[in-house]
Amino acid sequence: MMSIRNPRDFWSGVLFVALGIATIVLSSKYTLGSAARMGPGYFPRILGILLIVLGGILALRATRSAGPPMPRFKWRPLVVVLGSVVLFGAIVRTVGVALSTVLLIVTASAASHEFRPRESLIAGVLLAALAVGVFVIGLQLQLPIWPWQR
């Protein structure tokens, strides 16, 4: 009976094998060509095979030698940090740098266990002024400051 004794290695192996298979499936629609005249599908397929082999070695080895358990995912920082950045990216063009900066700072601050709403609002306003000053006025980047400036 095989058992997973090194979960980190095992799951990274599985991930690499899966990515390797996906690579080969996706590149099957690109011309393979020959070694002398490589098509766009040649190099990716080599890499896909390599990924499967390396992932396979990792996963197999993980059933032999033991390792530490998987560390836990903490969802709050992950979701809040990435979410606030995605939100910023989605609205900055329509809402402008000023307001989307305040929104980004306040939402992102909520990822910390030391979240202080009022403090983060003040930081947001200050950083919005800084961002407008440095990026829009100083570096002349093509970004609207306010929603009505589109």
Partner 1 sequence: MELFNHLAVGFGVALTPINLLYALIGTLLGTLIGVLPGIGPVATIAMLLPTTYALQPVSALIMLAGIYYGAQYGGSTTAILVNMPGESSSVVTCLDGYQMARRGQAGAALAIAALGSFFAGTCATVLVAAVSLPLSALALKFGPAEYFSLMVLGLIGAVVLAHGSLVKAIAMIVLGLLLGIVGTDVNSGVARFDFGIPELSDGIGVVVVAMGLFGFSEIILNLESTEKRELITTKLRGMWPTKAQFKLAAPAVLRGTALGSVLGVLPGGGAMLSSFASYSIEKKLAKDPSQFGKGAIQGVAGPESANNAGAQTSFIPLLTLGIPENAVMAMMVGAMMIHNIQPGPQVMTSNPQLFWGLVASMWVGNLMLVVLNLPLIGIWIKLLTVPYRLLYPAILLFCAIGVYTVNNTSFDVMQTAFFGLLGVIFAKLECEPAPLLLGFVLGPMMEENLRRALLLSRGDPTVFATRPISAGLLAAAILLVLVIALPNIRRQREEAFQEA
Nearest to partner 1 of 1, 60 (CB atom): 60
Residue 20 burial (C-beta neighbours within 10 Å; 0-12, 13-18, 19+): buried
Residue 3's Cβ-side half-sphere holds a number of Cα atoms within 13 Å equal to 4
Both structure tokens of 9: 């290695």
Minimum Å gap between C-beta 40 and partner 1 is 4
Minimum Å gap between C-beta 69 and partner 1 is 11
Minimum Å gap between C-beta 56 and partner 1 is 10
Nearest to partner 1 of 5, 8 (CB atom): 8
Residue 131 burial (C-beta neighbours within 10 Å; 0-12, 13-18, 19+): buried
Nearest to partner 1 of 112, 149 (CB atom): 112
